Structure formats: C-alpha cells, structure tokens
Copies of this chain bind each other. A is one copy, B any other.
Amino acid sequence: MTTTTKTSFRQRLREASERNSSLLCVGLDPDPAELNGRDIAEFGIAIIDATIDLVCAYKPNLAFYEAHGSAGYAALERIIDHVNGRVPVLGDAKRNDIGNSVRFYAKGLFETMGFDAVTVNPFLGRDSLQPFLDYEDKGVFILCRTSNPGGADIQGLNAAYDGVPMPLYEAVAHMSKSWDTNGNIGLVTGATYPSEAQRIREICPDMPFLVPGVGTQGGELEAALSATLDADGGGILVNSSRGILYASTGSDFAEAARVAAENLRAQIEAARPSA
C-alpha cells in the first residue's frame, strides 16, 4: 500500500510551497449559481491553469461534485488528472466510518481518486481513522475546530481528557498528536476562531494546519496567520475558495481568479515573519 521510498505528503507540500513562495491553497468548489452555465470540470481546469504557479495546493470539496452524482465524480477525476502531481491535491471529504467501510473510503480517495491528502472527521475515534493513517505518504487532516459558528455545539463542549478539563477541540488536538505515529496528520483549524487556533498550535507545534475561513467567511487574515504559523513561519495551508473562484463571473473569470490569488498570496507572504 505504501513504500518507504515515496516522498511524504509534507515534503511534497513543502516543495510546492517553496517553489511558488506560497501558503495559498485554492478551494475548487464549483457552485452552479456562479458558473454562468460553465461545465464544472472545464471551470476547474481553467482555474488551475490560471493559478498553478501561485499555490501550494488545491482543495476540491467533494460536496460540490457529489451534488452531480457520478457525473460530478467524473468531473473531479478529470480535474485531479489535470493537476497531474504538479502540486498536491487535498480532497476535502470530511469522511469518517468504521471497519471495512473506512478502508474503502481510504482506498477510494487515495488510490482511485488519487488525492495526496484528505480531510477526515474524528467523531468515530482512532480506529475509524487508522486506514487513512496507514497510507504513510498521504496527508490526513483531522477536523479540530471548524470555521462555522455551530462548530462550538460539540467541539466547544467542556470535556475531560486524561482527567484534565478542556474544550473538546483541545482534546481532539491532544488525541491527534498521540495518534500521529506516521507523521502524516494535520489539523483543520478555522481562521474565524484565532484564539482557539492558537491554543491548538500550542498543543501541536509541528503539525501542518489547514486554515479555511479566510475571505468570504470573515476570518481576519493577520490574526489567523499569527495564531497558526509554526515556529518556522510556515506549516499552514491558507484556503480561499469563493473569493478567488468568483472574483469575476464573466468571461474574464480565470484572469480575475489569478489576480485575486496573487493578491492573497502577497498578503500572506507580507504577514509571514520569515518573509
């Protein structure tokens, strides 16, 4: 399933990030309401062609493809094929299941679809994540504190971990750290809750963080970066979807996406202490 000769996801991410001087991840989330009738695969390919030298990764959210059933998955397969390993592609799947089922999710996402990394939901516990973690060269981003207000309903409950009281999302960070025997775990920490993100960074100083919620979700970029950057001024993927994809919905959408991506990349670079 995995071999020790393969480059790790973290290494591939670092290479793309350094080559393009970028911590920007573009979310490939085609919303028909914004596409003016464009085909979702053609749209994604045009966005990739316009931005691939500006990003450290792409992140298609599978919801936007599953909405179209098998045709949507076929479009997603075309998009991943088009990237063709030039930068990592992170499948924002938020999958979680048990036993045999989760083995098939891991196989489908990592082998059939060919994602370099995926997001997963930790609610079903360690054994539900192990089949993903067993792919040593792939990245597994565990939801920790999501960027939506309702994230607090469960993630914000006061829980006790190892007898110590703490919010549940902190317990998830501690567990994730203890589960990371293959060094391939990352965490999802919304830009919209920087103080929570900072606490998570203190618990997991070396893990890559996927930071969604910048832009249309209202996360303040500088506060989010200051909370999540690691000691080397990296270690994060700052995701933006709608702010880049729909910078224009006219025929200049790809050029407008490039300008928006250039601007956001530059803002991020300006805020990095090491930049």
Q: Which A residues form the contact surface with B (CB < 8 A)?
A: 29, 31, 61, 63-64, 66-74, 76-77, 92, 94-105, 107-109, 112-113, 121-128, 143, 146-155, 157-161, 168, 171-172, 175, 217, 242
> A171 → chain B, closest Cβ, in Å?
6
Chain B residues whose CB sits within 8 angstroms of the CB of A105 once the complex forms: 63, 66-67
| Copies of the polypeptide in the assembly | 2
Distance A196 CA – B140 CA, assembled complex (angstroms): 30
Chain B residues whose CB sits within 8 angstroms of the CB of A143 once the complex forms: 123-124
A-B contact pairs, 19 of them (CB 8 A): A31-B104, A64-B101, A66-B105, A67-B112, A68-B112, A69-B113, A70-B72, A72-B108, A92-B101, A94-B95, A94-B124, A98-B150, A123-B155, A124-B146, A125-B150, A128-B148, A154-B171, A154-B175, A157-B159
Chain B residues whose CB sits within 8 angstroms of the CB of A74 once the complex forms: 70
Task: A29-B101, A72-B108 given; name 18 further pairs at CB < 8 Å.
Answer: A31-B104, A61-B101, A63-B105, A66-B73, A67-B105, A69-B77, A70-B71, A94-B96, A98-B151, A99-B148, A121-B123, A123-B154, A123-B155, A124-B151, A125-B146, A154-B172, A158-B160, A159-B159
Select A99's contact among B95, B127, B172, B217, beta carbons within 8 Å.
B217
Chain B residues whose CB sits within 8 angstroms of the CB of A149 once the complex forms: 125, 127
Residues A63 and B113 in contact in the complex (CB < 8 Å), given A123-B143, A157-B160: no
Chain B residues whose CB sits within 8 angstroms of the CB of A31 once the complex forms: 100, 104
Chain B residues whose CB sits within 8 angstroms of the CB of A77 once the complex forms: 69-70
Distance A107 CA – B128 CA, assembled complex (angstroms): 26
Flag if B150 contacts A128 (CB, 8 Å). Answer: yes
Residue of B nearest to A127 (CB): B150
Select A104's contact among B67, B97, B126, beta carbons within 8 Å.
B67
Flag if B153 contacts A175 (CB, 8 Å). Answer: yes
Distance A120 CA – B89 CA, assembled complex (angstroms): 25
Residues A97 and B94 in contact in the complex (CB < 8 Å), given A112-B68, A148-B124, A175-B153: yes
> A74 → chain B, closest Cβ, in Å?
4
Flag if B73 contacts A154 (CB, 8 Å). Answer: no
Flag if B67 contacts A108 (CB, 8 Å). Answer: yes
Distance A72 CA – B69 CA, assembled complex (angstroms): 10
Distance A226 CA – B171 CA, assembled complex (angstroms): 34
Chain B residues whose CB sits within 8 angstroms of the CB of A70 once the complex forms: 70-74, 76-77
Chain B residues whose CB sits within 8 angstroms of the CB of A157 once the complex forms: 159-161, 168, 171
Flag if A101 contacts B161 (CB, 8 Å). Answer: no
Flag if B63 contacts A146 (CB, 8 Å). Answer: no
Chain B residues whose CB sits within 8 angstroms of the CB of A121 once the complex forms: 94, 96, 121, 123-124
